Amino acid sequence: MKLFWKLFCSMVLITTLACDVGGYVLIDTQFRASLEREVSALYEENDLLRYALAQELAFHPLYSRRELAAAAKGISISTSRGTVAFRLSGETGETLGGSGQLPVEAGPLTASLPQGRRGWVMDALSDGRVYLHAASPLVLEDGILYLENCREVSGLFQDRSEQYRSFFTLVLVLTGAVGALSLAVAAMLLRPLGRLSAATRRMAEGELDQRVAVRGDDEIALLSADFNVMSHRIQRQVQELRDAARRQEDFIGSFAHEIKTPLTSMIGYADLLRSRPATEEQVRQSAGYIFSEGRRLEALSRKLLDLVVLDRQDFPLRPVPLDVFLGRVAGAMAPALEQAGVRLTVRAQPVPALMEPDLMETVCLNLLDNARKAMEGGGDLLLEGLSEEGRPVIRVTDSGKGIPAEELERVTEAFYMVDKSRSRAQGGAGLGLALCRRIVDLHGGTLELESTPGQGTRVTVRLKGGKT
C-alpha cells in the first residue's frame, strides 16, 4: 500500500475511532447521570411516603400491620409526574395494601434486601417499558412491612437510543468530511516526497544537477536538505570521475601525439645508419641521438602522466642555456625536416631560461612539427633563442600556409584542428598546441601566435630568466 493511502486511512481511522469512543463515553455518562437522578427521585418519593406513614403511626400508634396497610390507602403523595403509587408488602412478598397500582412484582426485591436496609432494582416489562423499583423496610411491633414504589424510566432508554442513532449519523457525516480533508492533507504533506521521488528518478537517468526546494523545518524538509547535499556530492564526485577520465584520455592522446616526434627522430637516424655509408663520427652522432631520444621518450611518458593524469604542478625548474637546448632540439628534428624538404635555421644566444628540459623540449618539438606539417612542399623554418626585455624567448617562424584570423584564438584548444582532413592524414589529434600552452603555463610563461594566411606563422614562447 502506498504511503498516501496509509496516511489517509490512518487519519480517517483514528478520527473515527476517537469520535466513536468519545461519543459513546459522553452519551453513556449522560445516561448514567440521568439514571442516578431518577434513582435519587425514586428514593425521595419513598422517603416522602415513609414520612406520611410515620405521621399516621404517630396519630395511631396501636395500628397493626394490616390496619396500617388499610389506613395507607388514604395516603396520597403528588409530584410533577402525578400521584405516586405505592405498595405495602410483607416479609414473604404478599401484598398487604397501598395506594394505586404498581406494575412490578414485589417478591424478588424484598427478598433480596439486607435486614433494615433499602434498595432498588430495574425491571423491564415485556411491552418495552422500564421501571425503577425501590423498597424500604418499616419495622413495627408485630413485624416488618416493606414500602415499595416505582418510577418509569423508559424515556431515558429511548433518549439514549435516539442519541446513538443521531451520533451514528453524525459520525458518518464526520467520517466523510474527515476523509475529504485527509485526502487534501495527505496530498499536501506528501507533495515534497513526490518532488523528491521525481528528482531521484531524474538523477537515475543522469541529470545530476537536481535540487528540491526546502520549505519549513520538519522531517520532510530535513530529508529534502539531505537530498540536496547528497545530490551536490554525487554531482561533484561524478564530475571528478569525468575529469579523471578526461585526463586519462588526454594523456593517451597526448602521449600518442608526443611519442611520434622522438620516434620519427629515432627512425630517421636509424634509417641513415642503415641506408648509407657513414663515418665513425656520424655513427656515433646518430647513435647518440637515438639513445638520447629513447631516454627522453622514457622520461617524457612519465612526465606526461604526471602532468595530464595526475595534474601535477610542481615540476622542478632549472636554468638551461637556450643555445645548448635549441641545438639539441634541432638535432632531434633534423631527419624529419630533411625528409620533408624543410630548411632549418637555428639562431640561439646563450641566454639562461628556467625550464623543465624534457617538457619544454616537447613544446619546441611540437612547434617545429606543426611548422613542418604546414609546409607540405618544403620551405624555410627559423628557430630562435634570444632575450627580449630581460626575458628569454623561444620563437619558431615558418613559411607555411598560415592560420586564418578567425581560427587563431582556437588553435590551442584541445582536439581543435584548423584543417581536419590534413591533420588526420598526417596523424594529428589536435592536442599538440593545447599541451604546449599547458606546459608553458606551468613554467609561468606565455605562448603567442601570429599568422598571415599564405605567408606563414610565428609562435613566440616567453619564459622566466635564470642564472646558469
How confident is the model over 133-164, as pLDDT tens digits?
A: 999 888 777 678 888 899 999 999 999 999 99
Cell of 464: 622566466
Secondary structure class of 117 (helix, strand, coil): coil
* Ranges of residues in the chain whose predicted pLDDT is under 70: 1, 56-65, 74, 106-107, 142, 247-248, 250-262, 278, 296, 298-313, 410, 412-432, 467-468
Q: What is the pLDDT of residue 291?
A: 78
**Burial of residue 242 (number of CB atoms within 10 Å: 0-12, 13-18, 19+):** exposed
- With beta carbons less than 8 A apart as the criterion, state whether 432 and 366 touch: yes
Cα radius of gyration rounded to whole Å, the chain: 57
- With beta carbons less than 8 A apart as the criterion, state whether 38 and 57 touch: no
> Measured between alpha carbons, how far is residue 451 from residues 207, 402, 423 in Å?
43, 5, 18
Cell of 55: 405521621
How many C-beta neighbours within 10 Å does residue 15 have?
A: 18
Q: What is the pLDDT of residue 424?
A: 34
**Burial of residue 18 (number of CB atoms within 10 Å: 0-12, 13-18, 19+):** exposed
Q: What is the pLDDT of residue 428?
A: 38
Q: What is the pLDDT of residue 300?
A: 60
Residue 268 to residue 335: CA distance in whole angstroms? 5
Q: Which residues pair with 459 in a beta bridge?
A: 396, 449
- With beta carbons less than 8 A apart as the criterion, state whether 371 and 354 touch: no
Residue 385 to residue 392: CA distance in whole angstroms? 7
Q: What is the pLDDT of residue 418?
A: 42
Phi/psi for 463 (5° steps) reads -115, 180
Query: Cα 369 from chain centroid?
Result: 54
- With beta carbons less than 8 A apart as the criterion, state whether 235 and 208 touch: yes
Nearest partner of 151 among 92, 90, 80, judged by Cα: 80
